[in-house]
Structures are given as C-alpha cells and as structure tokens.
Chain A
Amino acid sequence: MSDSIDLTESTILIVDDDAISIQMVQAILEKREYKIITAASGEECLQKAKAHSPDLILLDITMPGMSGIEVCKLLQQDSVTQNIPVIFVTADTDNTTLEEAFSAGGMDYVCKPINRVELTARIDSALTQRALGEKLLEKEKLNAILELAGGVCHELNQPLQVVSGYSQLLLSELPENDSRQEMVKTMVNQIDRIAEITRKLMNITRYKTRKYLGKSKIIDIHGASKITERKDNQKISG
C-alpha cells in the first residue's frame, strides 16, 4: 500500500449564494487540479453533496433561506454525506457563531474576505486528514479480513486435506476403465478448486468488493488476492 497521498483528484463543493464569492474561490483554487462543483443555496448543497459525494465542502454560513449551520446539521444526519469535511466561510468570527459552527459538525472555518494562503492551507489540511482517515479505515478493514480469512482457512484446510487425500487415493485405485473414474476425477478437481479459494483467501492484499444481491457486497476474492493464477506445483498425481 502506497504511503503517499495524492490530493489532486479531489472534488470540492463550494456553497455560496453570492456568485462573485464563488468565482473568487475558484480563482484561488485554479492552480490546483481540484474538480469544483458549486451550489447557490442550502438545498442545492444538500442535493449536490448527495449526488457527487465531494471530498470537501466550502460552506458559506450566511445564506438566505437555510443557513450554512442548518445545512451542516442536515449533512451530518445523512449517512451518505456525514463524513464529508465542512469548512465554513464566514465574516462573523464571534464566539457564538464559531461555537455553533463547530457543534453543527464543521471541521474548520475561514474568514471573509478570504485569504488565499489560509484557504489553500486549510483545504489541504482537511483533505489530507480525510485521506488518512480513509486509508486507516481501509487498513483496519483489511486486517479484520485477513484475521477472519486466516482463521477460516486454517479450519477449512484440515478437512480439505483429508478429503483431498482420500479422493486422490480412490482415483489411483480405481481400474482405468471403471465408470466411476469420471465421478472421482470430478471430486478431485472440485476439491482442488476449493483449495485454490482458500489459498487466495490467505493471500488477500487489498480490500476489494463486488456486488452480490441487491445492494449487498461481498469480498471479491479473486480481485483482492495477490494470487491471480493457479499454482502449478499442485498438479494432481497418483
């Protein structure tokens, strides 16, 4: 797993009822290769956040209709958007406003008029934190999977060895023209297939899932394992 974090592909949602403010922020962020989405109201922010899952939201506090604080609270309530870091943009830096902002779930804030250096630094910080958090989560998920896979495989491999041994022995003892040869050969091959699965499970190196039924997902064993081909030293012999 690479330790470096690449922030260039990040998506940022800028929310402000004032189009000029949005343009100013876009100008500041121009040099970075972020993908920018914009929203002019709280409602639009909620809708776009759900639709695009941005990596960061720059949220103006003072907007007509739904305020930035209210928007942030609603973002927190939705499982799709609750983990997106929010940086408030505000002209009011009194304690009451700041307290409200942080308790609504905001991660940070920048003051209006926006300082270029401050904005980019805080954005970088928030994005890095998010990326690190995701990496950590993935690492933890992977560790949990490896622990489970190891335990399961160890248990499965024991009876598998017994069944594998006896079925190969049986195959070697059946006369060549015995009609049961095919059945036993199939058994031997299918056991081999199970063995391949446990080998792949024990060599999972990344967290990769695939769709199963409906919305549920399962681990994609073949995609997640570092074993991509069948090992040839395990050919069937009598």
Chain B
Amino acid sequence: MNEGDLLRGVAMEKKILIVDDEEKIRVMLETVFNKTGFITFTAETAQGGLDLMAENDIKIMFLDLKLPDISGLELCIKMKELDPCTIIYALTGYASNFDFSICREAGFDDYFTKPTDIGTLRKAAEEAFEKIERWEEN
C-alpha cells in the first residue's frame, strides 16, 4: 500500500457484498474480508442482496448460485442491469463445465467453487476493487 492507495482508500470505501443462504459462510467471509480492510455486507436472500446493493452503492459481489428466492444467475443478471460497472463473482458449492459457461453468459466476471482458499478470494476482491477504482476515475 502506498500513499496514493491510502488517499484513495479514504475517498472510496472498499465495500463488498456476500449473498449466501448459509449463515456460517457469510460470517466466515465477513471475518476474512474485514481483516483486510473491506467493509463487508451480507445477505441471506437475493432480494436482501439487491436492497443492500442499492442502499450502499456496492460494486463488488460474491454470490452463491443456490439462493432461496431467485437463483444466483438471475440475481447477477439483475445486478448487472442495475449497474453494469460492478464486478460479480460466483461462489458455489457445485462445479461443472456446464455451470461455468452459463455463469459467464449471466454476466459473472469469475467463478469460484467452494471451498476456495481465502487468499484467492481476497486477491479477487482486491483486483475487483482496483478495476472499479480505475473505472470511476475515467
């Protein structure tokens, strides 16, 4: 982290949204991300996620594909429609080649299968933040 980063950090909060119906996953990820300077918001349902995204202008999301109300795929499509300048990651319990291309079609920027190393998730969040910053500058 350099001076520029610190200044930017003040100007732009590193907000991140986790949407997963499992409480333990939400709590664990919140702990992991908060320890690296993110402000983590969590939601149990897709609608909850949409509400938090609107209220807090969040640009970085991790979505589970299996949610109680609408699927993670539909949620991603909705979120990208509301704000195309978001980075949305899938974090899902099941993986297959079939799922990956469907996710890309829905607009997911990347796709992680549980369990993913926290280092990988943090790196993805940091990269997302860097991109969003760059977009906001332009």
Contacts and interface: CB of A to CB of B under 8 A. Distances in A.
Nearest to B64: A158
B101 to A, nearest CB: 16
Given A234-B120, A236-B119, A165 B28 contact: yes
Given A161-B114, A165-B28, A195-B115, 6 more contacts: A157-B93, A165-B118, A169-B118, A233-B120, A235-B117, A237-B117
B73 to A, nearest CB: 16
Interface string B86-115: 000000011110000000000000000111
Interface in A88-143: none
A153 interface: yes
B116 interface: yes
Interface in B21-46: 22, 24-25, 28-29, 31-32, 35
Interface of B: 22, 24-25, 28-29, 31-32, 35, 66, 93-96, 113-120, 123
A235 B66 CA distance: 26
A165 B35 contact: no
Interface of A: 150, 153-155, 157-166, 168-169, 191, 195, 199, 202-203, 233-238
Nearest to B22: A158
Contacts of A169: 31-32, 35, 118
Contacts of A202: 94-96
Contacts of B35: 169
A177 B7 CA distance: 35
5 contacts: A158-B22, A160-B115, A161-B116, A234-B116, A236-B119
